[in-house]
Amino acid sequence: MRRKISRMKPEQVVSSLSVPSQTGETKRQYPPIQRHFTGFSTDRLQSYLDGVHADIRNRIKSIITGPDFHYFEGDDYEKYRQQVLSWTTRLGKEIGHWFLPQSLGGAQDLPKFIAALETISFHDGSLLIKLGVQFGLFAGSVLRLGTAYHHRTYLPGAVSCELLGGFAMTEIGHGSNVQGLETTAVYDPENHEFIINSPTYSSGKTYIGNAARDGRMMAVFAQLEVGGIERGVHVFLVPIRDAEGRTLPGVTIQDNGYKMGLNGVDNGSLWFHQVRVPSTALLDRFAKVNINGGYETQIKSNNARFFATIGTLVGGRITLALAANSMAKAALTIAIRYAARRRQFGSGEGAPETLILDYPATQRRLMPRLAMVYGIHFAVRHLIGIQEKFQDLGGRPIESLAAALKAFATWNAIRTIQFCRESCGGEGYMAVNRFAALKADVEIFATFEGDNTVLLQLVAKNLLSELKDQLKQMDRRQVTRFLLRQTLNALGKRVTLSKLKKERTHLLNPEAQLAYFRFRETHLLLRAGESFRQLTRRHRMDAVGAFNLLQPDLLELAHAYAERQILERFIAGVQKAPDQSLSRPLGQLASLFALTQLEMHKGWYLENGFMSGRQSKAITELVSSLCEQVRHDAVALVDAFGIPDECLAAPIGLA
């Protein structure tokens, strides 16, 4: 379990930048942060980043910076869990109104709710996940999969945190393959009950938040059987404890114990032994069992019904992308502020030592990561907007974008925190400076709410399906013309860009940058589609085998899709900036993001004849130049994240 000691009194903190006082006590005397004139208002930029819900963000900040929210200190994770439960209950009363439907007296304003969760991410990872389990997963399942009866019966208790629950989907033997779950729910027509059963050890639900200690009810994913016919995965509300916290008959609970991080969350494993629940326990928005034991559904396909059922996960993936990006913002704030006050070595005898942030190696290490979190910020905000607009429609585009951004943002946060830790040297290794906590908590983000590699395969599969949908209405001649047109369009952009790229300045043109990204994505998609067709038609391979064989190519395609989506939203974010003074630093960050990705993939562009050696060198030179330019704004750019010192908590990174 991580140890939170970041709220220590100044005289307790020992660092390489401290000196002893006359009384023998050690007090911090960090040099001031060197801030450059930037030409833009940090407050104005923060207001732009905060968006329309700045008042909610400020309200949440006023709570999480209060004395009741001091970080937990110690190594007793049971006490840590109790502390996180107390925080959860306090904040649940604050944010529950925005989650509860209007029919029950709430506001049901998802963007406001997400803004609150994003701000909470600045404080404590366990708190965020506890709230995410309670609201996004448990209450979210009731809201999105249940009907009016479930809403009025369970949602008021869920949003007030009086009824704590969990999301029992993952099994010991089945994680990503949810359709293969072993837990069963057999309908008993005589008693109008479902019998929930875990037939094997591997069918035990595991890593379930709120299961080990606090949860009283679980949204359980199980294979429904009615009249001897298997109907696929459905969701049931199953009590596991009574009001006094005693485990109910037929339920076995095992604490998952001490973890790498997030030890304020009580993860546990669950087995059900012929547990009976009433017929109303089925969350029946998409399918129901009537009083006569008949199965009714308007979605005839088991696959389509399954994907409608797990749509709850889209909101969780959006929240994780935001949370991971918030953690990356915190790490960058600490590292960049430290690099702007810490000096080492000098240019000559008697010369002052050089700020760490002035070294090109440090700029190369941190500035692209700063550009990355800004790009992800705009991309996820866009996703929140379209999800709210089309939440009842859902579908492949939103699912793909949520999966891609969750994978990209969480992996980026993991790498960013490591880069930041290294850039702070020994100070970064001290627990008091918070990298240990950030690193431990964010690691699991890569493999829950969907394993990132599996999510990117889903993205690629959806992209191939969309391509197939475009082609299936065409005859052979039309298909040939379509593919030729796509190729010629790409070649046309290639010729245009080859003329533009003779001048380095055109590499800073947003449309030129976007053309590179689109060309790569289109090329990878068409190549993967053709390879898939060859394997399934010419070589008679089944679709699953072909898909597995093409996994490396498909993962590359999904990465290209995510990068293109982020750049598009980043460019739009620059264009929508409220004044020109903000367009300049945001534009530099967008170019740095674009050229850093081009530099990363220049081997691909060179291999495919889309880039010359001279252009490749020019990109590398421009990345270095942009890193130096962004460095002058770097402190102001992290200040604009608006992270309170009480949340940041790292002595080396305090404002």
**Is 109 inside a domain boundary?**
yes
DSSP state of 534: I
* pLDDT less than 70: residues of the chain: 1-28, 390-395, 473-504
Domain end call among 112, 135, 159? 159
* CATH number for the domain harbouring residue 113: 1.10.540.10
Amino acid at 188: D
| Residue 559 CA: distances (Å) to CA of 309, 459, 589, 591, 644 | 26, 9, 20, 18, 33
Instruction: Give the pLDDT score at 489.
Output: 60
* CATH number for the domain harbouring residue 436: 1.20.140.10
Instruction: Give the pLDDT score at 347.
Output: 74
Element (H, E) at 324: helix 312-339
Instruction: Give the pLDDT score at 95.
Output: 93
Measured in Å, how far apart are the chain's first and last C-alpha atoms? 28
| Residue 284 CA: distances (Å) to CA of 41, 240, 577 | 52, 20, 45
| Residue 174 CA: distances (Å) to CA of 105, 156, 282, 303 | 39, 32, 22, 17
Question: Whose structure tokens read 């990204």?
Answer: 517
Strands 18-20 and 26-28: antiparallel
DSSP state of 508: G
Instruction: Give the pLDDT score at 13.
Output: 34
Q: Which of 183, 189, 141 is nearest to 163 (CA)?
A: 141
- 55 Cβ neighbours under 8 A, 6+ residues apart: none
**Is 465 inside a domain boundary?**
yes
Rounded-to-integer distance, Cα 558 and Cα 297, Å: 33
* C-beta separation of 183 from 223 below 8 A: yes
Instruction: Give the pLDDT score at 498.
Output: 52
Query: Under DSSP, is residue 187 helix (H, G, I), strand (E, B) or coil?
Result: strand
- Length of the chain counted residue by residue: 655
Query: What backbone torsions phi and psi does residue 133 show, to the nearest 5 degrees?
Result: -65, -45
**Is 241 inside a domain boundary?**
no
DSSP state of 186: E
Domain end call among 159, 189, 219? 159
Taking only the tens place, the pLDDT of each residue in 425-439 is: 999 999 999 999 999
Total structural domains in the chain?
A: 2
**Is 436 inside a domain boundary?**
yes
How is residue 72 written in tokens? 């937990």
Element (H, E) at 167: strand 165-168
Query: Under DSSP, is residue 278 helix (H, G, I), strand (E, B) or coil?
Result: strand
**Is 567 inside a domain boundary?**
yes
Rounded-to-integer distance, Cα 139 and Cα 223, Å: 21
Instruction: Give the pLDDT score at 362.
Output: 97
Which domain range does residue 514 map to? 314-653
Domain end call among 159, 185, 209? 159
Taking only the tens place, the pLDDT of each residue in 613-626 is: 888 999 999 999 99
**Is 327 inside a domain boundary?**
yes
Rounded-to-integer distance, Cα 448 and Cα 166, Å: 14
How is residue 511 written in tokens? 């449309």
* C-beta separation of 332 from 421 below 8 A: no
**Is 415 inside a domain boundary?**
yes
Angle at 231 between CA 226 and CA 234, to 5 degrees: 100
Global pTM value: 0.91
**Is 178 inside a domain boundary?**
no
